[in-house]
Structure 1
Amino acid sequence: MTSACCGRLPSVDATTPAVLHLPASLGRHEVVALCEDVRVRLVSGRAEVVVCDASGLGPPALTTVDALARLQLAARRAGGRIRLRDPAPALRALLDLSGLPIELEGQVEQREPALRVEEAVEPGDPAL
């Protein structure tokens, strides 16, 4: 991870994602600063993914979804992406309801099914 020796600067493993701890409230000024932080972390080349730790967020609201959408947009513009860590069940439900495709930490990436693949149906199978 990091090492400090002989007065040199510490080296950082670029494969380790940067972690951004989200504050309890996400006002307009906080979101602007967080977006800039995400952009700087990704543009500097230190990470391809910024993990947003949502464990400290307050009760979820549409402003929270808006803030996460803005963070995701800032990350994509910088050539990276964000991943949400430890969201509350209510926030997960709100994200599902809003349709905002935010990657959750520990979630298997969903892919489109292969084209031109058909399932075989046996004559005795019940209809679904």
Structure 2
Amino acid sequence: MNFARRPGLPGVDAENPITLTVTGRVSRAVVPDLCAELERALAGPRGAALTPGAAVDCDVGGMIRPDLTAVEAVARLGLVARRAGHTLRLRRVPPELRALLDLVGLADVVTLEEGPEERVPGPY
């Protein structure tokens, strides 16, 4: 499991200097590390540059077999962002994680960005 801030990614809001990337299998042991990394980012100069209420991006497209531990990680990251006066926006959400977030009611707590492959085409 890897996580890092990666500025300048395609599709990332240029006004949001913080992006947390979560890849691999998320275990309970790494959830506190993820939260600490987000807290450090929000407390640093890049976090101070965010406008109040701005979304903090979390790219979860590289998660492997999301389960309830991944849901716990998302919930705790959302709390960290909220305590700092921001919201958590998930990018590239795997269908399995999206279904779990819907099931436990967290889909309404964090923003789930729809990627190009997830959007339902409208009538022509």
One-letter amino acid matched to 2:29: H
Residue 67 of structure 2 is aligned to residue 57 of structure 1: no
TM-score, normalised to structure 2's length? 0.67
Return the letter of the residue paired with 1:39. Answer: E
1:82 Cα offset (Å): 1.1
Change (3 A) 1:71 1:78: same
Cα drift, residue 39 of structure 1: 1.4
User: Partners in 1 of 2:63 and 2:114 — Cα distance?
Assistant: 19
Q: Check if 1:105 corresponds to 2:113.
A: yes
Identity of aligned residues (%): 43
Counterpart check, 1:86 vs 2:92: yes
What's the CA shift for 1:17? 4.1
5+ long unaligned stretches in structure 2 = 1-6, 9-13, 116-124
In the alignment, is the contact (CA less than 8 A) between 1:83 and 1:102 conserved in 2?
A: yes
1:40 paired residue number: 40
Question: Do the aligned residues in 2 keep the contact of 1:51 with 1:82 (CA within 8 Å)?
Answer: yes
Q: Which runs of 5+ in 1 are unaligned?
A: 3-13, 108-128
Matching residue of 2:77: 71
Find the counterpart in structure 2 of residue 7 from structure 1. Answer: none
Report what 2:15 is aligned to.
15
State the Cα RMSD in Å.
2.5
Conserved 8 A contact 2:77-2:88: yes
Change (3 A) 1:72 1:22: same
For the residues of structure 1 that align with 2:16 and 2:85, how far apart are their CA atoms? 16
